[in-house]
Homo-oligomer: A and B are copies of this chain.
Amino acid sequence: MTEPVEYDVVVLGAGPAGENIADRTRAAGLSTALVESELIGGECSYWACVPSKALLRPVLARADASRVPGLAGSAEWPLDTEAVFAHRDYWTGNWKDEGQIDWLDSIGAHVYRGHGRLYGVRKVAVTSPEGEHHVLSARHAVVVATGTRAMIPDLPGIVGARPWTSREATSARQAPRRLLIVGGSVVAAEMATAWQSLGSQVTVLVRGPRLLPRMEPFAGELVAEALREAGAEVRTGVTVEAVVRDGSTGPVTVVLAGGEAIEGDELLMATGRAPRTEDIGLDTVGLPAGEWIGVDDTCRVPGHDWLYAVGDVNHRALLTHQGKYQARITGAAIAARAAGTPLDTEPWGAHTATADTRALPQAVFTDPEASAVGLTLAEAERAGHRVRAVDYDLSKVSGAGLYADGYRGRARMVVDLDREVLLGATFVGPGAAELLHAATIAVAGEVPIARLWHAVPAFPTISEVWLRLLEEYR
């Protein structure tokens, strides 16, 4: 092993969060190394948001077209799945990362390909695929941004069943005839939407009472209703107890509690995420391996003034855009501490990731789309706020009815009655993903209700639901 190579900042993991750390620390003039064992760009670029949206958008565009007069039968228009897959492949760079490497080169960040492990305080050891070893030392900060992997429960038969995870579900080149999906969260809902339209007969098996359990209840209910109308089966309140697959290409059978057996051709386990922290040397600095890494609002690990964790791995918000947000905040905090300048860690300050807890946005590209920011009614009540939820049926908004014949959707805003600001908002319906950012600005901006009355939605947009929500509130 050679002498340590010294950088100001060493980042473990070059997904969106790690890349944005590099971007910010390089912009501050700090030398930065990134260590990545897989593709530069991370899960999002190759096996999550990007390929899933590439698969889903044609499905949603066709659905939208089928809901306007004059395009009768467009719901039946054939979707050229080969073209859809080719487009998805294009967007993932065919699972090659040259483009991202070029960008990191252009900002002067140094990339080490290989497996990185903490190696005591401020040190990272890298083993390259060729077996070379490097030790990197970090003058100011080591940032863990290793993300997550799919978590598959330890069911009887699960290993031999070779289930799909989000990776296979987003990168498959052929629709299984029958696709079983276990889980109810975003991956399950989006992949059910995509593959049902791309040719599979989808069955979704949800343990809880509904899909999209982190959103307002109506979100999962509306998405399940639409999936059923599209021909998928959605079963809630079911527990998978075992999985059986014989041979390498045969059907797979899921056995439910109670004994019912359901057969499919592929099985997607969309049962949550686990931190990629098993083998990154956390034990060398006294932290437990395999667990989420707890951090403060600058994403620094308490008790380790040189160690940070950003993105999924800190479990604050498992979303690409939020990992990038944390990276911007943390990058600025690292740069400020390196320069010895004071930090602004007041809520909403430049060096504190306040939005993680107060204004976390998420868009789900199902049909209907679902989007939400901030707290749900239940979360706000649990947090002790004095709140009121205001709901509006989106089908009663002219802009929605003109957007889609028979528009179905719903919006909710959660109002803090003491401060008269929004704590959260949820939109479900065709086009709802792009309705979200208005609410994100209202929540993060803490714009008072009285001022929101002056934010006039243009007629006839779907956004006019804002006026209706305010009227309902009054």
- Asked if residues B445 and A461 are in contact (CB atoms below 8 Å), the reply is no
Q: Choose, from A204-212, A232-240, A253-261, A348-356, the stretch at the interface.
A: A348-356
User: How large, as a class, is the contact surface on chain A?
Assistant: 35 or more
Assembly stoichiometry (copies): 2
- B355 and A456 contact, CB distance less than 8 A: yes
Give chain B residues whose Cβ lies under 8 Å from the Cβ of A399.
53
Q: Are A405 and B441 within 8 A (Cβ)?
A: no
Which residue of B is nearest A450, CB measured? Answer: B350
Asked if A11 lies at the interface with its beta carbon under 8 angstroms from chain B, I say: no
Instruction: Indicate whether A442 sits within 8 Å of B445 (C-beta atoms), given known contacts A359-B454, A435-B434.
Output: yes
Contact, CB under 8 Å: B466 / A437: yes
Question: In chain A between 39 and 58, which residues have their CB closer than 8 angstroms to a CB of chain B?
Answer: 44, 49-50, 53-54, 57-58
Instruction: Choose among B348, B362, B405, B456 the residue that contacts A321 (Cβ–Cβ < 8 A).
Output: B456
Q: Is A433 an interface residue (CB 8 A)?
A: yes
B-binding segment of A1-9, A80-88, A298-306: A80-88
Whether A458 pairs with B445 at a CB distance below 8 angstroms is: no
| B residues in contact with A266, CB < 8 Å | none
Partner of A86, one of B69, B436, B438, B454: B69
Question: Which residue of the partner chain, among B58, B361, B442, contacts A68 with CB atoms under 8 Å?
Answer: B58
Say yes or no: is A393 at the interface (Cβ < 8 Å to chain B): no
Closest 9 CB pairs of A and B: A69-B87, A445-B447, A437-B463, A363-B458, A70-B84, A321-B459, A444-B455, A437-B438, A65-B65
Given A359-B456, A440-B457, 9 more pairs with CB closer than 8 A = A50-B398, A54-B402, A57-B403, A70-B83, A321-B456, A328-B453, A348-B454, A354-B454, A441-B455
